[in-house]
Structure 1
Amino acid sequence: MNLVTPAEHPFAQFVRILGKGKRGARNLTREEARAAMGMLLDGQAEESQLGAFLMLLRHKEESAEEMAGFADAVRARLQPPSIQVDLDWPSYAGKKRHLPWFLLAVKALANSGVKILMHGGGAHTAGRMYSEQLLESLDIPVCRDWVEVERAIDTRNLAFIALGDWMPRLQHMIDLRNILGLRSPIHSLARILNPLNARCGLQSIFHPGYQTVHREASQLLGDNALVIKGEGGEIEINPDAISHLFGTANGENWDEDWPALSPQRHVKPESLVPERLSAFWRADSDDAYGQLAVLSTMALALRALGLPREDAFAQAQLRWDNRHLSK
């Protein structure tokens, strides 16, 4: 009979911190979060520990310090070249009520000279339309490594790179969604990573209350960020609703409310037809909702880069009108 007590796994301490009951559990410190995510990224935890860790975080709801610590660990393992980028534009939610009009906003902004990095985590939830499914038809450059990203940014001001191509362990964690039954905090983490240290990171968080956590995490990381409750969870203004902007710039927080742009709500389309995006881009068709969504989302991005609201909307209209005249 073996009476030797087995040694505790080094990662077990982090599961215990999160799961030690209502009175014993607590948040991870930033340093603990950095260490825990480092072990996960380096493959030093068991798959059962990964699942337990992610779901305990999901149940507890992650803190700003935890998010910042996780981002610290990811950034320490990234080796991207130095590429000048204006906007970091994560796209992880997918759309189900309206078309992803923000993709046209991205194209028009890039054509006007704004340098944008997009990244996403693939089609992980049924019933949603994801950016990756539309990039080719909309002529948005899809890159497989940082060299291709640098070339696309230089020539087109725009590049998309899948999370799995630059941080595959995080993509694996996202892909556990259909095994665990819930989205994990990795969906939130991916939005604050800003891998190329863009001038400003745009973030869309659908669930109320999380916006302030994301802003605080970006502030802890020393990043400029603008967080909204975007339509469907993507970075897209819903013109039928009031939009609250949670900004942080140079270490200072700012807030702004944008009124609804339509006096009454638009009727949700019966189905999402991707071809309507290309037709609208070519001016071959009209869409009242799409027009407002595109222009207000462009204005949001320009507001993130420092323009006042009125100037941002005026510039958005000008850049949209001239979208075919630039790069």
Structure 2
Amino acid sequence: MAGRTVVAAQPGDQEVRWLPISALLPADSPRQGGEDIEHIRMLAGIGEPLPPIIVHRATMRVIDGMHRLGAAILRGDELIEVRLFDGTDKEAFLLAVQSNIAHGLPLSLADRIRAAERIVTSHPTWSDRAIAAVAGLGARTVGTIRGRLQVDMDPGVGRARTGRDGRVRPLDNAEGRLRASAIIQERPNASLREVAREAGISPSTVRDVRQRVAQGQDPVPQKWRRGHGPKPADPRHGGLLDRPALAEMLQGLQSDPSLRFTEQGRILLRWIYARAIRQDERVDVVEKVPPHCSYIMVNVARACADEWLQLANALERRTVAD
């Protein structure tokens, strides 16, 4: 598993083909409330071809595209464009969740939480961050879900988790640090990567252990000792961290038929692209602002940030209400 990124599988059959709608079965969807009829009607009225749907080859169940399928049925179509996916039922569900947070009508917060509950149960050895990346939640939220479900695991398996990069790491960071300390004492000339590989921790953690040992300190900081770990996230804030990269989210919006193929949607996309600040873009701006204008820019930036926050809160309240 080492070196293999943990993400939902992608459709293995890249060839687009036309299949009879009558041959397809409903999705094992993470969308608990079913399909949105208004969204289906909107898609049915779009004159442009819609992207192919994804279908599980083994079961012929729709993985991604129930709204597009509904639009085709509403138009009276007999065939629909399809990409076939080869994988297990569990992999198909992962792909369904990941697809529905990336584009189209997004999953509600409640749907994403329910999806994460199911993934925690089906993939108990996955790390909180790996599950969060698929479900569109924060790692702290997934950790809260895992604690609430109290998923039973084999004692040996439960001592490690598989991260987003596919690497298996010990669940107890202190254990990895102690193992690294022992390796460093035995082989002081071993490289960071060599120790990291054997101890099951990151090279940066090995560097920290080596520095602490050289200074005569405990290789395990106080915060990683049993009973002194980081406190869980405040459930009032949801712990919605580690969201997908901004570029990925913008690409998902740009691919959404309801935005891409409608005048109102294209206006909204232009509005968002004109106001979204890309990662690290602010660094160049900082250097260009004259010192005497800095305090004004500070107020402008904070005012804009507050408006974005209010927009996010309003949209989130509408999503929860729906």
Which TM-score applies when normalising by structure 2? 0.27
Bigger CA radius of gyration = 2
Which TM-score applies when normalising by structure 1? 0.26
Which protein has the bigger strand share?
1
Which protein has the bigger helix share?
2
